[in-house]
Amino acid sequence: MYSEKVMDHFQNPRNMGEIEDASGVGTVGNAKCGDIMRIFLDIDEDGIIRDVKFKTFGCGAAVATSSMATELVKGKSIREALQVTNKAVMEALDGLPPVKVHCSLLAEEAIHAALWDYAEKNGITIEGLEKPKSDISEHEEEIVY
Ligand code: FES
């Protein structure tokens, strides 16, 4: 049911934890399952994501997708981080069962929320970044399985 990569990231999650004095912090939840994700970003003056950590009260698929998502945005620019969609994360994990696709949205939305927080704190606008949702189940219907 789950790929080896999903099992690996679930059993050995990368970048779990938190960053003190993070440049941006984003928290999102899914009202349907009650799971919550928080992402911490450390962004340097050149706009490069130097470090990223996540904390979750979520299912195994949420842990695995967040672990992979943090690996994909680490060391990247803000613009590159915006390209890390839940689809890209799922591809990097060799797929997820259809009923677990919504779990991968937690990581994507939490990264966007953390970038939004960073932009607000610094009084800047990040092109292509929309105001994050606090509840991802609002747009689950839009997901194409
Ligand atoms: Fe809620 Fe996976 S079941 S995030």
Q: What distance in Å separates the CA atoms of residue 73 and residue 130, rounded to the nearest whole number?
A: 18
Asked whether residue 145 carries a pLDDT value surpassing 60, the answer given is: no
State in Å: Cα 31 to ligand 1 middle: 10
Class of the CATH domain delimited by 4-124: alpha beta
Give, in order, the Cα–Cα distances in Å from 92 to each of 10, 14, 52: 14, 14, 18
What are the angstrom distances between the C-alpha of 15 and each of 46, 72, 113?
Answer: 22, 11, 18
For range 41-61, the mean pLDDT = 96
Concerning whether 103 is annotated as a catalytic residue, the answer is: yes
- 97-144 residue pLDDT tens: 999 998 999 999 999 999 999 999 999 999 999 988 878 876 665 555
Q: What is the pLDDT of residues 4-41, one digit of tens each?
A: 999 999 999 999 999 999 999 999 999 889 999 999 99
Q: Nearest residue CA, atom 4 of ligand 1?
A: 103
Q: Residue type at 58?
A: G
- Comparing CA positions, the residue from 143, 3, 6 lying closest to residue 68 is 6
